[in-house]
């Protein structure tokens, strides 16, 4: 039994969906569960729609109409008029119609998840319908009835026991009859509300299903030939890893390597299930395999770049030393405002921390910190993490930049750059 995950780039247009079907055709004699992300940049567009709705912006309906038009144009290239998929998609978009008719909910995270989740629900309707049209019998499955989470919107925490029972209860029998197509990134609460698992969380979805079903492997299909030592959009002469250990993959994703969601690896490692990262443009190529006893060969340092970073320095107003009590209070505020720390550094009188900038949370965090602390910050920064670094690599990366914070350990260097 195999689990495939197709990201947004692989289904960004009609040609991509046709290619997906061609890839699946190669595995028509396998039991196959297929996890699909939202199409192209749909998640970004739905995030813009969410913010427009919260702010009751004038362009809200224009954004929404553009999202619907994009999907209907793709369907128009794949299906004849009158195909049932048009009604299925229209009925799915109704979930947004109902929401934006009402006043915005007080909880941004709740609103975000209810709107943004529609991207995956629509894409999987289209993919499942096209696979059936292509003669590849497929069942559309609503993941919200199988991956159960708490009410931590935008970062739903999986309730593993309940999730395993749901997945193992009916999906094995369904896989004996057809392929199963379901959504990445999404979960459901006990109150039947939708949650999301964090941006790029479709990889994590695939690993949850694989671990619960005892899959032989997971393959995530990307627009790159495998896992590279750096982003080819930012660096020349990147090299591909033929294989990586679970441990090295976890380290890379922890520091922000976007090719795999950070939570993906651990369920697979626990179940000893290999993860393949392969190109949907060259499906017969070997790609990269992540497994237990891989031979990690680093011909070049691994370079991970995170943009849109904030470096925030926090100091007690009474000029006292930064103590464990201060840190406990600061981290509690970070948790309440959904801020995840990427790098931190403590001195006698201040605590500096680097994290992703999220407009909807940053102002509230600063306001609460100002009650007891002095703060100053720099924004629009880059965080560069270098695994297996050399002095020459660090010099090259910082040659025309201002280094605002630097941390170097045995295997890893982190640089906050302006």
d(CA 409, CA 70): 47
Instruction: Give residue-wise pLDDT tens across range 85-108.
Output: 999 999 999 999 999 999 998 899
Same domain, 287 and 307: no
- 395 assigned to some structural domain: yes
Domain end marker among 291, 325, 349: 291
Same domain, 102 and 29: yes
- 237 assigned to some structural domain: yes
- 344 assigned to some structural domain: yes
φ and ψ at residue 327, rounded to 5 degrees: -60, -40
- 296 assigned to some structural domain: no
How far does Cα 391 stand from its chain's mean position? 32
pLDDT at 357 (0 to 100): 95
Report whether 305 contacts 298 (CB < 8 A).
Answer: no
Instruction: Give residue-wise pLDDT tens across range 332-383.
Output: 999 999 899 999 999 999 999 999 999 888 999 999 999 999 999 999 999 9
Cα maximum dimension of the chain: 71
Structure tokens belonging to residue 366 = 């600063």
Structure tokens belonging to residue 3 = 């689990």
Same domain, 357 and 287: no
Report whether 185 contacts 113 (CB < 8 A).
Answer: no
Pairing between strand 373-387 and 302-316? Answer: antiparallel
Same domain, 228 and 83: yes
Total domain count, the chain: 2
Same domain, 198 and 258: yes
- 297 assigned to some structural domain: no
- 313 assigned to some structural domain: yes
φ and ψ at residue 232, rounded to 5 degrees: -65, -15
pLDDT at 291 (0 to 100): 96
pLDDT at 123 (0 to 100): 98
Domain end marker among 236, 270, 291: 291
Same domain, 48 and 136: yes
Domain housing 145: 2-291
Instruction: List the CATH number of the domain containing 354.
Output: 3.30.2130.10
Instruction: List the CATH number of the domain containing 277.
Output: 3.40.1160.10
Instruction: Give residue-wise pLDDT tens across range 250-271.
Output: 999 999 888 888 899 999 999 9
d(CA 118, CA 112): 10
φ and ψ at residue 351, rounded to 5 degrees: -130, 120
φ and ψ at residue 368, rounded to 5 degrees: -70, -40
Same domain, 374 and 282: no
Same domain, 149 and 279: yes
Same domain, 47 and 94: yes
d(CA 202, CA 215): 17
Same domain, 250 and 322: no
Same domain, 11 and 153: yes
Domain end marker among 291, 325, 350: 291
- 139 assigned to some structural domain: yes
Report whether 204 contacts 253 (CB < 8 A).
Answer: no
pLDDT at 392 (0 to 100): 93
CB neighbours of residue 154 within 10 Å:
20
φ and ψ at residue 301, rounded to 5 degrees: -60, 150
Same domain, 340 and 201: no
Laid out side by side, the sheet with 288-291 consists of 138-140, 179-183, 32-36, 2-6, 217-222, 275-279, 288-291, 243-245
pLDDT at 219 over 90: yes
pLDDT band (50, 70, 90) for residue 200: confident
- 349 assigned to some structural domain: yes
């Amino acid at each position: 039994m195999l689990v495939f995950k197709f990201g947004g780039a692989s289904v960004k247009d009609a040609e991509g969906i046709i290619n997906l079907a061609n890839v699946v055709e190669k595995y028509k004699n396998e039991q196959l569960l297929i996890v699909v992300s939202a199409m192209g940049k749909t998640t970004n567009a739905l995030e813009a729609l969410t913010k427009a709705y919260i702010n009751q912006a004038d362009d809200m309906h224009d954004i929404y109409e553009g999202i619907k038009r994009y999907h209907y144009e793709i369907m128009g290239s794949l299906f004849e008029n009158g195909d049932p998929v048009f009604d299925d998609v229209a009925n799915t978009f109704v979930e947004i119609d109902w929401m934006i008719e009402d006043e915005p909910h007080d909880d941004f995270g709740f609103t975000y998840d209810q709107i943004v989740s529609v991207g995956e629900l629509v894409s999987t309707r289209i993919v499942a319908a096209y696979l059936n049209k292509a003669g590849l019998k497929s069942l559309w499955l609503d993941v919200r009835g199988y991956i159960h989470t708490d009410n931590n919107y935008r970062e739903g925490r999986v309730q593993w026991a309940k999730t395993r029972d749901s997945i193992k209860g009916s999906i094995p029998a369904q896989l004996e009859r057809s392929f199963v197509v379901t959504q990445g990134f999404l979960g459901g609460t006990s109150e039947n509300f939708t949650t999301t698992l964090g941006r790029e969380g479709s990889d994590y979805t695939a690993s949850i299903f694989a671990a619960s079903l005892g899959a032989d492997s997971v393959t995530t299909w990307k627009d790159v030939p495998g896992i590279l030592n750096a982003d080819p959009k930012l660096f020349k002469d990147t090299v591909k890893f033929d294989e990586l250990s679970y441990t090295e993959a976890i380290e890379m994703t922890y520091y922000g390597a976007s090719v795999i969601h950070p939570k993906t690896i651990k369920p697979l490692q626990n179940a000893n299930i290999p993860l393949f990262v392969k190109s949907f443009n060259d499906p017969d190529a070997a790609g990269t395999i992540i497994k237990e006893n891989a031979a990690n060969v680093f011909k070049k340092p691994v370079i991970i770049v995170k943009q849109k970073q904030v470096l925030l320095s926090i100091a007690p107003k009474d000029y006292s030393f930064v103590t464990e009590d201060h840190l406990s209070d600061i981290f509690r505020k970070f948790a309440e405002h959904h801020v995840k720390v990427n790098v931190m550094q403590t001195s006698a009188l201040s605590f500096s921390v680097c994290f992703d900038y999220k407009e909807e949370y940053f102002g509230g965090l600063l306001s609460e910190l100002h009650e007891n602390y002095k703060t100053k910050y720099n924004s629009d920064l880059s965080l560069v993490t270098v695994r297996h670094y050399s002095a020459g690599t660090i010099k090259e990366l910082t040659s025309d930049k201002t280094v605002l914070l630097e941390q170097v350990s045995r295997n890893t260097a982190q640089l906050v750059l302006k």
